[in-house]
Structure 1
């Protein structure tokens, strides 16, 4: 097995990492990240099973504070940066939000699609979170 354990984990207890995508199906650069000395491999701990749990967790977010907490945990534990910004053309529905994951080696193409889709479903179910996002960007005209 050519896969090495995540750098900051014990060599005797390797952490499961995401399996490689089929050749040509993704541009995640997983193998390059694994071969890079000192590379930040935390994102590879998001196995397909763990991604399903994360998607479920995001879909069940019920408040703006909870959304911010999940964002912080994703960044701290996996190095994944989630950006949610209102569109420059205005926000009439949740489609008016730009929801993206910052590009980084090891982040699967499907993950870059599934997490924003889960956030969008969360916002659909919880309009109060969408309003809080707008307020955080000072788009509700507090002044």
Structure 2
């Protein structure tokens, strides 16, 4: 008896632009994004909202890249940072990454930064924005 690994269900046609069809020709390493089922996505979002410190954020970024191939870049925006919306959170384009997931990951990180502003301050400090403060 073989156990199959649960894969994410395909989005309804015409609703999403994830490019899941492109993954058929790709090697298995590129298909690892399909391991992010809806249940696992909910767990990931909850975990991103519970950030403890900057090291925890960097750890989650590296785990998302290692396990799913999702590369997240977080940096201060081009203009003045007054709120969490001033922090730029970008995900690299990746076939198979659902449109809703591309929106929910940055939103969850922002909620985590709002819950623990010390992480946002450390992030800004890491980019030398608070050196004079």
TM-score using structure 2 length: 0.93
Match among 42, 48, 71 for residue 61 of structure 2: 71
Partner residue, 1:84: 74
Is the partner of 1:41 in helix, strand or coil? helix
Partner residue, 2:21: 31
Matched, 1:93 2:97: no
Runs of 4 or more consecutive aligned structure 1 residues displaced over 2 Å after TM superposition = none
| 1:93-133 per-position Cα deviation (integer Å, ceiling 9, x unaligned) | 11101112111101000000001000000011111100111
How do residues 51-70 of structure 1 correspond to structure 2 at under 5 angstroms? 51-70=41-60
TM-score using structure 1 length: 0.86
In 1, Cα distance between equivalents of 2:20 and 2:131:
44
Partner residue, 1:108: 98
Name structure 1 gaps, 5 residues minimum.
Answer: 1-11
Name structure 2 gaps, 5 residues minimum.
Answer: none
- How far 1:38 moved relative to its partner? 1.5
How do residues 122-141 of structure 1 correspond to structure 2 at under 5 angstroms? 122-141=112-131
Partner residue, 1:19: 9
Return the structure number with greater relative CO, CA threshold 8 A, min gap 6.
Answer: 2
- How far 1:83 moved relative to its partner? 1.0
- Aligned-residue CA RMSD in angstroms? 1.5
Kindly indicate which of the two structures has a greater share of residues assigned to helix.
2
